[in-house]
């Protein structure tokens, strides 16, 4: 009986928290941070013009563009970009100076439906569009180190083993 207990004690698993901590430590370091603005009261069509101007630019340059753009959408995107930079800095310990805007998009959100009174007692629907804005920032320095550590796949021609296969 005592042998059975001692065998069971020897086969104890590690605590779940220890297992997850070890798995988290061995996971690859993230190189991007995301921020989303949901249900914003502006049409996605109006936001996309601003997003197209900052896509691919460094964060400091993008913030300057947004600060001097005289549009409502620029103010909204600026808040979201600042949030993405803060996420990268605080959550993932990324360097702010090497961040750039890798992806940014404005998607449709559910529309607010309002009635617009018309002549002769009729009414037509008016759709007030909302948008979901997503901004993703990536770290250039960590991206470059990933490219150098990854082994490139060389395009090697396959040599036939004997002459009967060559035709």
The label of the residue with tokens 């009729």 reads: 122
Domain boundaries, the chain: 30-143
* pTM > 0.85: yes or no: no
Q: Which string of DSSP letters, residue by residue, matches 80-109?
A: HHHHHHHHHHHTS---GGGEEEEEEEEEE-
Topology of the domain comprising 30-143: Ribosomal Protein L22; Chain A (3.90.470)
106: nearest Cα among 33, 34, 32, 36: 36
32 is written with which tokens? 């991007």
- For residues 105 and 128, give the distance between their C-alpha atoms in angstroms, rounded to a whole number: 19
pLDDT digits (tens, 9 = 90+) for 100-129: 999 999 999 999 999 999 999 999 999 999
CA 68 to chain centre: 25
137: pLDDT confidence band, cut at 50, 70 and 90? Answer: very high
What is the per-residue pLDDT for 29? 78
């Amino acid at each position: 009986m005592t042998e059975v207990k001692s065998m069971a004690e020897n086969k104890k698993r590690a605590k779940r928290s220890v297992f997850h901590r070890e798995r988290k430590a061995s996971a690859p370091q993230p190189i991007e941070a995301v921020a989303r603005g949901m249900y914003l009261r502006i049409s996605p069509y109006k936001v996309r013009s601003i997003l197209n101007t900052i896509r691919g630019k460094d964060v400091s340059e993008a913030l300057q563009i947004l600060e001097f753009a005289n549009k409502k959408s620029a103010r909204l995107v600026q808040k979201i970009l600042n949030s993405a930079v803060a996420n990268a800095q605080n959550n993932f310990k990324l360097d702010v100076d090497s961040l750039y805007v890798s992806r940014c998009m404005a998607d449709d959100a559910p529309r607010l439906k309002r009635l617009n009174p018309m002549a002769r007692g009729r009414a037509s629907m008016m759709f007030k569009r909302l948008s979901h804005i997503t901004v993703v920032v990536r770290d250039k320095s960590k991206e470059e180190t990933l490219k150098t550590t990854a082994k490139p796949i060389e395009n090697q021609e396959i040599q036939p083993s004997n002459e009967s296969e060559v035709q």
